[in-house]
Chains A and B, each alone.
Chain A
Amino acid sequence: MSSRPEKNPLPTGRAIIEMDGIRKVYDTGKVKVEALKGVDLRIEKGEFVAIVGPSGSGKSTLMNLLGCLDTPSGGDYFIGGEKVAGLTRDALAEVRNRRVGFVFQAFNLLPQISAFENVEMPLVFGGVPPKVRRAKAAELLGKVGLGDRMDHKPTELSGGQMQRVAIARALAMDPDIVLADEPTGNLDTTSGTDIMGVFLDLWKQGSTLVVITHDMVLARRASRIVEIRDGRIVSDRAAEQAA
């Protein structure tokens, strides 16, 4: 993967993720919830960031904003040097497709189609020709150790295997950054550790990763730990490298 040409060249001096004073207010009719109260965050290419914090502190909200799934209520956000504010829905979809790979706690694989077709999906949206797309999907499934399970439907796979498919899918478009929201939250300890190992391998191969987790043991294996509490970043430090 290190040999692949830079798809989205980053302007010099810019980080992949640049957030300045990001706020997010959920307006649910009667009550307004301020989920993020001014977040500044810079993530450089090749970093492995763990985001930790108690439940309800705004981690998922932050990840949705990072992944352009949602738009901030205030502040500036640049991904890969590109300003996100003011983009149309379709333009945001394109940014997600090109720059972001998502891994969810609930896997969120499409249930009716095979593992192979799930991995193919972002490539379909990216307009990649069928031949290239099939080769890529097969390569990625092989890489996450599911070369022999390509035609299985998600329901025929274990939790750990489903999450591997999801990771392969997140990598399909060679994104600038992979975002994972509690990827081990639905897994037992063994497969959790196992999945974390997959992330570590990816990082070592040069991917930029942001992983949200409750588990400090897992978090300590990242290069950097960002702690969020009540919508604010309360600590941001390099993790002591154990692995």
Chain B
Amino acid sequence: MKVIFHLFLQSATLGRKRAFLTIAAIAWGTVAILLLLAFGEGLKRQLGSNARAMGENIGVMWMSETTKAWKGMNPGRPIRVRIDDLPVLKSRLPELEDLIGEAIFWRTNLTSGRKTVAGRVKGVSVAYGEARKQYPVEGGRFLSPLDEAERRRVIFLGNELAEDLFGKEDPVGKTMLVAGAPFTVVGVMQKKTQMGAYAGMDKDHSIIPISTWKALFGRPTVNNLVLRVSDPAKMKDAIARTREVIAAKYGFDPADERALPTWDTVESQKTTRNMTVGIQIFLGIIGALTLLIGGVGVANIMYAVVKERTREIGVKMALGAKAGWITGPFVLEGLSYTLVGGAAGMLIATLMILGMSFIPTEGNQVMEFLGTPKLSPAIGAATASILGVIGLLAGYFPARRAAAIDPASTLRYE
């Protein structure tokens, strides 16, 4: 090893220009792979958080009609869960963290001062705030148990609806009219980038206690249920159990899935994650190919060096150099160009990515969706190991050619 290093230091004098080009090619490949992977990572995180913005570990169950005959009853019977039944149903479903009824009035007049808009009013229970990530902007709050118990006329607004009604003013504490009845605004939802929705975007909705909702709109049933579990792995079973319990109470076939169609968000988030991992792998492969081209460049230049130094190699062999002492310096040389180029590329890419993280995502639709590129230890490790392998190969193949040189014929005096 010492010998190899000695020889390497003596011989590693590629032309300055060639060394620079080689290193630049590797640096470029490294920048490409890091940027692509970082974009992939950013996309993954952003899509992930966008997908989770609706809520984590939840399922949404809609009210529909039976599609199977059951105990003498024909199919096509509508199933509507009653608001008043919710506590009983919940008590029979210990596997659920929350069972929330969601009653929706799609278009009703919402008035603040002179301004009236047609908006969506949902009646839900307190647990909805946590389950569906209705986080209040500072100074406000979500619904409280007392609101629900006392059937208070309080309202929580989606951030865009709040802006439509109140402009730049802070709505909290103000009074507004819902279908002609006065309500007090208790909170406004924090802005979030929501991907996936089932009853419009949260930014446009308004929320009142479900007890108040029932009294105001005079309908005793929910539009859908929101199921929450603590362990995402148990989502599937929890959905099936819920359908069974409801089927028992309302009298339909528990195997009749279409009576209560359900969206399992755990499942769809898994799909999103798999998709983004797929995108990342794809981007990584493109990056690795770019880097590989750089590696081929290194190998090519090294081949040229071997060819140029054929006679020197022959001389060294005549003087008693073993194969490893011929190949070692070449491998080291290929590796060192790759690593220097790789280090330069990593530095450049890191600076670029840092620079991009200062671009605000706020208000930039593309960035809100794509996210900013993010580096992670895994990306660093992947890039470093690809660099290492390419560097070794870039040195190894030319070195093997060097070791195969026949000293007697190269030293022949022509």
Interface residues of A (CB under 8 A from B): 60, 64, 67, 69-70, 89-90, 93-94, 96-98, 102, 104-106, 108-113, 117, 121-122, 124-127, 169, 173, 181-182, 185
Min CB distance, B400 to chain A, in Å? 13
Q: What are the interface flags for B10-24 relative to A under an 8 Å C-beta threshold, 1 for contact and 0 otherwise? A: 110100000000000
Min CB distance, B401 to chain A, in Å? 15
Asked if B413 and A125 make an inter-chain contact with CB atoms under 8 angstroms apart, the answer reads no
Asked if A127 and B311 make an inter-chain contact with CB atoms under 8 angstroms apart, the answer reads no
Contact of B320 among A105, A108, A173 (CB under 8 A): A173
Q: Is B3 an interface residue (CB 8 A)?
A: yes
Asked if A93 and B320 make an inter-chain contact with CB atoms under 8 angstroms apart, the answer reads yes
Residue of B nearest to A99 (CB): B320
Asked if B408 and A64 make an inter-chain contact with CB atoms under 8 angstroms apart, the answer reads yes
Residues of A within 8 A of B7 (CB): 124
Asked if B311 and A108 make an inter-chain contact with CB atoms under 8 angstroms apart, the answer reads yes
Residues of A within 8 A of B317 (CB): 69, 93, 96
**Residue from B11, B316, B408 whose CB has the most chain A CB atoms within 10 Å:** B408
Contact of B413 among A90, A117, A124, A182 (CB under 8 A): A182
Given A125-B3, A181-B413, check contact A102 B318 (CB 8 Å).
yes
Asked if A97 and B320 make an inter-chain contact with CB atoms under 8 angstroms apart, the answer reads yes
Asked if A89 and B11 make an inter-chain contact with CB atoms under 8 angstroms apart, the answer reads no
Contact of B316 among A69, A117, A121, A181 (CB under 8 A): A121
Interface CB pairs A-B, < 8 A, 7: A60-B412, A60-B413, A90-B322, A90-B323, A98-B320, A102-B318, A105-B413
Min CB distance, B414 to chain A, in Å? 9
Residues of A within 8 A of B408 (CB): 64, 69-70
The range of chain B's interface size is 20 to 34
Contact of A112 among B11, B311, B323 (CB under 8 A): B11
Asked if B3 and A67 make an inter-chain contact with CB atoms under 8 angstroms apart, the answer reads no
Asked if A96 and B319 make an inter-chain contact with CB atoms under 8 angstroms apart, the answer reads yes
Chain B interface SS verdict (over half): helix
Report how far A122 CA is from B314 CA in the complex, Å: 13
8 Å CB contacts to A: which residues of B81-117? none
Report how far A88 CA is from B317 CA in the complex, Å: 13
Asked if B320 and A104 make an inter-chain contact with CB atoms under 8 angstroms apart, the answer reads no
Min CB distance, B181 to chain A, in Å? 93
8 Å CB contacts to A: which residues of B315-365? 315-323, 325
Residues of B within 8 A of A124 (CB): 3, 6-7
Report how far A122 CA is from B3 CA in the complex, Å: 11
Report how far A168 CA is from B213 CA in the complex, Å: 104
Residue of A nearest to B315 (CB): A108
Q: Is B312 an interface residue (CB 8 A)?
A: yes
Min CB distance, B348 to chain A, in Å? 32
Residues of B within 8 A of A97 (CB): 319-321
Q: Is B411 an interface residue (CB 8 A)?
A: yes
Report how far A106 CA is from B314 CA in the complex, Å: 13
Contact of A113 among B10, B318, B412 (CB under 8 A): B10
Min CB distance, A16 to chain B, in Å? 17
Contact of B325 among A105, A125, A169, A182 (CB under 8 A): A125
Contact of B319 among A60, A89, A169, A182 (CB under 8 A): A169
Min CB distance, A128 to chain B, in Å? 11
Report how far A102 CA is from B407 CA in the complex, Å: 12
Given A104-B411, A127-B3, check contact A110 B320 (CB 8 Å).
no
Report how far A125 CA is from B328 CA in the complex, Å: 13
Given A108-B411, A181-B413, check contact A93 B10 (CB 8 Å).
no
Report how far A226 CA is from B239 CA in the complex, Å: 101
Report how far A185 CA is from B414 CA in the complex, Å: 12
Residue of A nearest to B326 (CB): A93
Residues of B within 8 A of A106 (CB): 413
Report how far A145 CA is from B406 CA in the complex, Å: 33
Residues of A within 8 A of B413 (CB): 60, 104-106, 181-182, 185
Asked if A96 and B10 make an inter-chain contact with CB atoms under 8 angstroms apart, the answer reads no
Asked if A112 and B3 make an inter-chain contact with CB atoms under 8 angstroms apart, the answer reads no
Given A60-B413, A124-B7, A181-B413, check contact A67 B13 (CB 8 Å).
no
Residues of A within 8 A of B412 (CB): 60
Asked if A110 and B312 make an inter-chain contact with CB atoms under 8 angstroms apart, the answer reads yes
Min CB distance, B409 to chain A, in Å? 8
8 Å CB contacts to A: which residues of B261-307? none
| Known contacts A69-B411, A89-B323, A96-B320; 12 further A-B pairs (Cβ under 8 A) | A60-B413, A70-B407, A93-B317, A93-B323, A94-B320, A96-B319, A97-B320, A109-B315, A110-B316, A122-B320, A125-B322, A185-B413
